Amino acid sequence: MRMQTFLMASIVTTVISGLANAQPVCAAPELPSQHIKEIVAKERLSRTDLPEPFPKYKWTVRREGCHYIYREQGAPAKPHYTNTFWLNQVGVIVDASTGGIAAKEMKCPDKVLSEQELAEIVNNARKKRPELPGPYKPQKTRVDRMRCLYVYYEYALPETAGIYHTFTIDPFGELMQFFRGRP
């Protein structure tokens, strides 16, 4: 029994420490949920490109890496009756959508990041974050825009279904998340 407890504790400690090492190091201190809500409310006062609040709603804030996801669920709850805002670590709105699709087009920053700039952002992030997968050799890349966000794809050559990486980058050049296809 003691051995099972010891083994289980060792496994849990290893998994938790592995997950902790996988998180990016954020430069800014964590913002309270109420502060995130206030930022969105303040931005709505001066911007017409953001989704309007519902007459009645519940809200939540979740942190993913160094970014925040502020979500409003209209009341009574029903499918696609949501507003979602993504904010960077200092509280700047980097993307917004309503009902899962961008009904209102949020105004994106004027500067458009090139594929080369996105490649540099990914390479710099790899130097700081050992959990990020290395580039394929050889590889081809592609970039898609998703509202104001960039999705940078890397495909192993020769191309094989499921062998790819994706990196989601906000319009200010900060890596938000990554996904690794099957190895």
Cis amide bond preceding 109, omega within 30: no
Largest CA distance in the chain: 63
Q: Confidence band (pLDDT; 50, 70, 90) for 1?
A: very low
What whole-number distance in Å separates Cα of residue 120 and Cα of residue 22? 20
Per-chain mean pLDDT for the chain? 87
- Best mean pLDDT range from 9-13, 78-82, 170-174: 170-174
From the number of C-beta atoms within 10 Å of its C-beta (0-12, 13-18, 19+), residue 104 rates as middle
Residue 72's pLDDT is what?
96
Share of the chain above pLDDT 70, in %: 84
Residue 165 burial (CB count, 10 A): 21
What whole-number distance in Å separates Cα of residue 169 and Cα of residue 7? 39
Its pTM stands at 0.80
Q: In what order do the strands lie in the sheet with 139-146?
A: 139-146, 149-156, 164-169, 175-180
Q: What is the pLDDT of residues 101-120, one digit of tens each?
A: 555 678 999 999 999 999 99
Mean pLDDT of 22-49: 91
Tokens of 174: 């900060």
Residue 15's pLDDT is what?
37
What whole-number distance in Å separates Cα of residue 33 and Cα of residue 36? 5
Give the start-to-end residue ranges of the domains of the chain.
33-98, 115-180
Residue 142's pLDDT is what?
97
- Name the nearest CA neighbour of 86 among 77, 103, 98: 98
Which has more confidence, 18 or 26?
Answer: 26
Q: Which residues pair with 145 in a beta bridge?
A: 150
Q: Confidence band (pLDDT; 50, 70, 90) for 100?
A: low
- The amino acid at residue 105 is E
- Name the nearest CA neighbour of 70 among 57, 84, 88: 84
